[in-house]
């Protein structure tokens, strides 16, 4: 049975990495992957980053923009919740994507700070997004879920 049959999903950056893995996971579960926002009885799932909560050299603008998105998630949860739209965010840690691999030794240094000792596969991030999109998360609104291998725990 497809858990998200009849549901719609908006994916930005859905051509590679986490966005692509998420689009594939949602489609596998029956969701129609769309390029427009649901007007009601839907869900918005923003993607932030661990860099929005931990200062990292060279990532100031990126981290600041994602921190703003985390706060926007909470504001939208309050604003759109009464209309039946849940708004949450997933905050991935280091994830093996083409962009991350281009960081070379810098990426390896970041991975060394992860308690699980490895980077995430994009499909692992997509599974958290899939959970938030599903009915299993029907009472989750305004949450920021860290999928970071324990990075923020230490």
* CATH code, domain carrying 107: 3.40.50.720
Structural domain harbouring 122: 42-153
Measured on CA atoms in the order 19, 21, 22, 23, is the torsion positive or negative? positive
**Residue 62 annotated as catalytic:** yes
In the chain, the number of structural domains is 1
Structural domain includes residue 110: yes
Catalytic residue among 16, 62, 78, 83: 62
The pLDDT tens digits of the residues spanning 98-114 come to 888 788 888 888 899 99
Residue 5 lies in a domain: no
What average pLDDT does this structure show over 110-121?
A: 94
Cα angle 130-18-10, degrees, rounded to a multiple of 5: 55
Q: What are phi and psi of 145, to 5 degrees?
A: -100, 120
- Does some domain include residue 1? no
**pTM for the full predicted model:** 0.75
In a domain, 136, yes or no: yes
Asked whether residue 4 is assigned to any structural domain, the reply reads no
């Amino acid at each position: 049975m497809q858990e998200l049959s009849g549901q719609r999903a908006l994916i930005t950056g859905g051509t590679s990495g986490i966005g692509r893995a998420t689009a594939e996971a949602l489609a596998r579960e029956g969701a129609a992957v769309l390029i427009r926002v649901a007007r009601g009885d839907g869900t918005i799932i923003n993607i932030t980053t661990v860099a929005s909560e931990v200062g990292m050299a060279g990532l100031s603008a990126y981290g600041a923009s994602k921190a703003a998105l985390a706060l926007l998630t909470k504001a939208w949860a309050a604003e759109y919740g009464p209309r039946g739209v849940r708004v949450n965010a997933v905050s991935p840690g280091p994830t093996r994507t083409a962009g991350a691999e281009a960081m070379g030794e810098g990426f390896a240094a970041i991975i060394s700070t992860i308690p699980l000792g490895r980077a995430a596969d994009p499909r692992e991030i997509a599974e958290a997004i899939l959970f938030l999109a599903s009915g299993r998360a029907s009472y989750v609104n305004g949450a920021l879920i860290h999928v970071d291998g324990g990075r923020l725990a230490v």
